[in-house]
Amino acid sequence: MPDIHIQRDHTLGLPAARKIAFKWAEQAEEEFGMDCTYEEAEKGGDCDTVTFTRSGVKGTLNVTADRFELDAQLGFLLQSGRHPPSSTGQPLHGTPPRERAAAGNAGCRV
């Protein structure tokens, strides 16, 4: 069973979804040191697969004409850090609401 499962529906169609998934794989390699392999569906198939690995994490991103589905398994050390710490290194429970909101959104990317 994966530690992380993310499923997102879309209306892009497979050719556009492939471009996004391929770009994601390139970014994962550059920014996080992942080893990524992109396998397009065989002729007549409808699902591409990106396989990614690095020390402490491995998983797949399945790409179809209407869905992205990511499954990742975290190693022991990454599992213990699944809840993001505050930007100050201090627990968030004693932080004033404005600072807590800023710390909680510091790593967000859309």
3-49, pLDDT tens digit by residue? 899 999 999 999 999 999 999 999 999 999 999 999 998 887 899 99
Please tell me the total count of domains within the chain. Answer: 1
User: Is residue 86 included in any domain, yes or no?
Assistant: no
Count of H-run helices and E-run strands, the chain: 3, 5
pTM for the full model?
A: 0.67
Q: Which domain holds residue 72?
A: 4-79
Q: Which residues pair with 51 in a beta bridge?
A: 37, 60
Q: Which residues pair with 48 in a beta bridge?
A: 63
User: Is residue 63 included in any domain, yes or no?
Assistant: yes
* Block residue for tokens 């909101």: 101
List the one residue out of 40, 39, 49, 47 whose CA is nearest residue 71: 49
